[in-house]
Amino acid sequence: MPPREPALDTPLDVGGVRFLVRHEFGLVRRLESAFGPLRELNRKLATQTLTANELADLYGIALAQSERAPEREDIEAHLMRVGIVRAVEGVVPLMLGLFAGNEKASEWIRGELDKREPDDDDDILEGARRPPRAA
């Protein structure tokens, strides 16, 4: 059996705090319990039919394993502060990694890193082109 490749982490910001969300099967299981197949969640994100409540649920599920997980009201305040569109954009890299797999997400992240200047300390996702659709 080949060695197990480590899971990736995706940054997810809430209220000015950066959390790292691990790409693990347990997260997929929790998301599918709440939303059904990942393809359905991906479709809702792509067609902008995810409700604000569902978006808050998505953030909560993704961050639940963190020792410093934000409370539901903090997540809701974050959604109102940044707006729904930016909040959805915040979970797109996570969904890419979960839906398309760690290899595809790694390719996209490496491509974005290759575009950066050595002294560019901006967030890698800030202003980056939209990641490729997983489906």
Cα 87 to Cα 15: distance, rounded to the nearest angstrom = 11
- Partners of 127 in the beta sheet? none
What sections of 11-133 are H helices per DSSP? 25-35, 38-46, 52-63, 72-82, 84-100, 102-115
Q: State the average pLDDT over residues 75-93.
A: 93
Does position 134 have pLDDT exceeding 70, yes or no?
no
Alpha carbon of 74 to those of 21, 63, 112: distances in Å?
17, 12, 30
| Residue (of 69, 60, 10) closest to 35 by Cα position | 60
Q: Is 101 exposed, middle or buried (0-12, 13-18, 19+ CB in 10 A)?
A: middle
Q: Are 45 and 92 in contact (CB under 8 A)?
A: yes
Both tokens of 122, joined, read 């901006």
Cα 31 to Cα 128: distance, rounded to the nearest angstrom = 26
- Across the chain, mean pLDDT equals 82
pLDDT value, residue 125: 43
pLDDT value, residue 119: 53
pLDDT value, residue 62: 95
pLDDT value, residue 29: 95
**6 vs 21, residue with greater confidence:** 21
